[in-house]
Structure 1
Amino acid sequence: MRRQLSSLDFMQTFSGKLELALKNLSMAQFPPDASRTMRKFASSEVAELLDVTEAYIRQISLKEKGPTPEVTANGRRLYTLEQVLELRTYLSEHGRKKWINPRRIEGEECQIIAVTNFKGGSSKTSTTIHLAHFLALKGYRVLALDLDPQASLTSLHGSLPGFDAREGDTLFSAIRFDDPVPTKQLIHKTHLVGLDVICAGLDLTEFETSVALEMRKSGGTSFLLRVSQALEQVADDYDVILMDSAPSLNFLTLSSLTAATGVLIPVPAHMLDVDSTGKFLELAASYMQILSDMGTSAQWDFAKFLVTKFEPNDHPQANMTALMRQVFGEDLLLNMVIKSAAVADALTWKQSLYEVQRARFSAPKTYDRAMESINAANSEIENLLWRSWGRE
């Protein structure tokens, strides 16, 4: 019996239709001639970002020191992100807080953090984008690196001028074995000052084939150093590099883990997710053992688990979190990222929660709870960076 449906026709038809539909949607949200900008920040938000009082910010403005904010009809002071960073520099030069400008100094190495877990839906991309935006708003120089061929992190930045995944504008061009390009050529500026991105595309899958061919020709584990060597070219320009890994433990993920100085493993507090994470750890351990036997190993400053999509009133999740805390101990971050409709809505708009005005949500308290949760987790991760740099 001859089946009627051609697999080739099916895949080609709907990949084309879906690509066109999503392209039209993206064009409607961000037309080619539109430039995406970051929202402005109220003085209360600026005070929180700079860890000073709002009265102090107001006093500086009244004395006409630092940047001049926009003053609305009702007297609110609004600052652009560029002005927030200018104010941070001003306070670091004239204030008493040593680390109000947190950028690393001589002797502190760029921190390269891999956000990884081969369980899909564990919030790797959400964790990466919110951490990247948090750190950029705090004044760090951040590079976000998309290592997932599905390119979710890339799509969250809208239409980036000059980016074309079909023209090899991804990290694969820098880590391929034949004629690699300089990593700096692949970096794109985003609409957030202090945040750059290297985008992803389907050509990242070619790394798996090229590694297999290279190992057949020369053997060894040189492929493990490809990501590290690519990032070494630009590490001096950044304080933190964040890598959003694919939901698989492939050659590219292994190379990123070798390049990393720290690892974050997001885990939803569900039985299937925790069980999958256990299998991920078991498989990773077997690979690391093979690499260790060959004289190659990855050394990190820290590796932490992060509970994501947590629902406080869900008893099974509370029990699973308690189990994880018992097993992982201090390697499980104290703060958990709650499941929130506010985060889901923001990502639907191709934005992080930091980009969206609170007033846009019909239930602002939902926004507040989500923001409090994300800020707490990100602050704990920031403390890990400081500890790695030897700061108090």
Structure 2
Amino acid sequence: MAQPGRDTSVKTRDLRSSLAEVLGQVERGGRVIVEKYNDPVAAIIPMSDYLTLRRLCATRADPSDKEPRMAHRIVTSNISGGEGKTSITRELALTLADQGYRVAIIDTDPQGSLTKNLGLHDPVEGVARADLPGYRREHTILSVFDEDTEPRLGPPVPVLGVDVWVSNDALYEVDQRIGADLTKMGNLREAVDHIAPQYDFILIDTKPGITPLLNAAVAAADHLIVPISGDKGFENLDKIVKLVKGARPYAPGLGVRMFIPNRVRSSTNVYKDLLEMMKQYQSVAPVSSQIRDSVLMMDAQRARRPLVRHKPGSDIAQDIRNVTRDLLNELGVQPQATGVTP
């Protein structure tokens, strides 16, 4: 075997004994050619490569489809903290990627919980903290608010088959920049306009509380989904409505698309009452399938993996796939025929 990150080869007779080493290399982005009698017969590749190949096959299968497709731009928000915005954004994004869609995530919360959960702030031996992708300013949305005309996003960080614009302490500067020049409120939307043809879905994670950065993040989307995990999640729904109205000069089609019951303990009276309360808001947006409360979500976060890949056969992973299905139905999107079976 050769250095990680480079294409290497392994003989079929040696594959069983070296499988752990091969898989380790692939996890680090390498590709391994399997040879039999010096002839290549197969390849072991990262999931990101596999998903790209599936998308290319789907595109070639329908050459008549020449129209550029613009991404569905989805922002996850609830003014209250602790409702599960980050976990839902992450799990929906990776579930969509597993179904063969081109997916990007934009982390706009300066706390960087989503970025951390993907392992992008974790130390790497021999790499300075400032050189880790999760800490590099050019991989955040910060530069978007430096420009007066034609704002553009820097390069994303590819992780687990999705592209991620990360968050770190640099984003604490954004509120001040927008506050000093309100004409920059729509800069993120303009920048997302530029990348939208490259993706099927762009999911935006947000911070709690109402600030200029939250307003800019919501204005960059066309669809708002609202996770609710308790009474606190209902307290600021009137502010969500105002948030949407304030963003419509930049995003005329923006609307609340779905309420998501999250961390549900269906056997308790409190959560039965909560679900009944949510039904009262169905005139605003439909209520999705529920996501149960489970310690597996925390286990997945500690493992720096999305739950749908960490425990794909679990009940809560199926809950997430159900919510993804509900969201696709609400957006009028037909399921991909090229999905990856968990």
Q: TM-score range by the shorter chain?
A: 0.7 to 0.9
CA distance in 1, matches of 2:284, 2:151: 41
- Cα–Cα, structure 1 residues 167 and 322, in superposed 2: closer, same or farther, change >3 Å? closer
- Is 1:147 paired with 2:103? no
8 A contact 2:290–2:323 mirrored in 1: yes
Pairing of 1:6-85 with structure 2 (within 5 A): 37=27, 82-83=49-50
Give the whole-Å Cα distance in 2 for the aligned partners of 1:385 and 1:237.
19
SS at match of 1:143: strand
CA contact (8 A) 1:112 1:240 kept: yes
**RMSD of aligned alpha carbons:** 3.5
Q: Alpha-carbon deviation of 1:207?
A: 1.6
**Residue 309 of structure 2 aligns to which amino acid in structure 1?**
E
Q: Structure 2 vs 1, CA of residues 255 and 315 (structure 1 numbering), >3 Å: closer, same or farther?
A: same
- Residue 272 of structure 1 aligns with which residue? 232
Could you give the per-residue CA deviations for residues 142-201 of structure 1, whole angstroms, max 9, x where no partner exists? Answer: 110000000011112214775253645410112234799741x331111x23x1000011
Identity of aligned residues (%): 20
Match of residue 353, structure 1, among 304, 307, 310: 307
Instruction: Tell me the SS of whatever aligns to 2:94.
Output: helix
Report the Cα distance in structure 1 between the residues aligned to 2:218 and 2:60, rounded to whole angstroms.
37
Q: Which residue of 1 aligns with 2:294?
A: 340
Aligned residue runs from structure 1 range 283-294, under 5 A: 283-286=239-242
SS of match in other structure, 1:210: helix
User: Is structure 2 residue 72 aligned with structure 1 residue 111?
Assistant: yes
Q: Report the 3-state secondary structure (helix = DSSP H, G, I; strand = E; otherwise coil) of the residue aligned with 2:332.
A: helix
Tell me the TM-score normalized by structure 2: 0.73
Structure 1 residues 334 and 282: alpha-carbon distance in aligned structure 2, compared to 1, 3 A threshold:
closer
Q: Distance in 2 between matches of 1:79 and 1:181?
A: 32
Q: Hey, what's the Cα distance between the residues in 1 that align with 2:252 and 2:145?
A: 18
Alignment partner of 1:247: what SS? coil
2:185 partner amino acid: L
Change in Cα spacing, 1:87 to 1:224, as seen in structure 2 (3 Å) is: closer
* Residue 261, structure 1, aligned to residue 222, structure 2: yes
Instruction: Please tell me the residue identity of whatever aligns with 1:344.
Output: M
Aligned length: 291
* Pairing partner for 1:369 from 306, 312, 315: 315
**Structure having greater relative contact order (Cα 8 Å, sep ≥ 6):** 2
Could you tell me how far apart the structure 2 residues matched to 1:202 and 1:290 are?
26
Are the counterparts in 1 of residues 79 and 240 from structure 2 also a CA contact under 8 Å? no
State the Cα distance separating 1:239 from its structure 2 match.
1.1
**TM-score, scaled to structure 1:** 0.64
Matched, 1:186 2:132: no
Return the match for 2:198 from 237, 255, 273. 237
* 8 Å CA contact 1:333, 1:380 repeated in 2: no
Change (3 A) 1:291 1:306: closer
CA distance in 2, matches of 1:351, 1:271: 29
Matched, 1:306 2:260: yes
Q: Distance in 2 between matches of 1:90 and 1:290?
A: 42
Q: Which residue of 2 aligns with 1:282?
A: 238
Please give the residue correspondences for 1:120-139 in structure 2 after superposition, counting only pairs within 5 Å.
120-139=81-100
State the shift of 1:345 in Å.
0.8
Q: Decide whether aligned partners of structure 1 residues 297 and 156 sit closer, same or farther in structure 2, where only a CA change above 3 A counts.
A: closer
**Corresponding residue of 1:248:** 209
Deviations 1:264-314 (CA, angstroms, capped at 9, x unpaired) = 11111x223322xxx2x323444555677xx66642265211110011211
Give the number of the structure whose residues are more often helix, by fraction. 1
1:380 and 2:326 aligned: yes
For 1:35 and 1:305, locate their aligned partners in 2 and report how far apart those are by CA, in whole Å: 41
Kept in 1: contact 2:75–2:223 (CA 8 A):
yes
Q: Is the 8 A contact 2:189 2:250 kept in 1?
A: no
User: What is the rounded CA distance, in whole Å, between the counterparts of 2:46 and 2:251 in structure 1?
Assistant: 46
Runs of 4+ residues over 3 Å off in structure 1: 67-70, 78-94, 159-162, 166-169, 177-182, 284-292, 295-298, 385-389
Distance 1:342 1:69, change over 3 A: farther
The verdict on how the C-alpha distance between 1:84 and 1:245 changes in structure 2, with shifts beyond 3 A counting, is closer
> Does the 8 Å CA contact 1:173/1:180 hold for their aligned counterparts?
no
Q: Distance in 1 between matches of 2:147 and 2:59?
A: 44
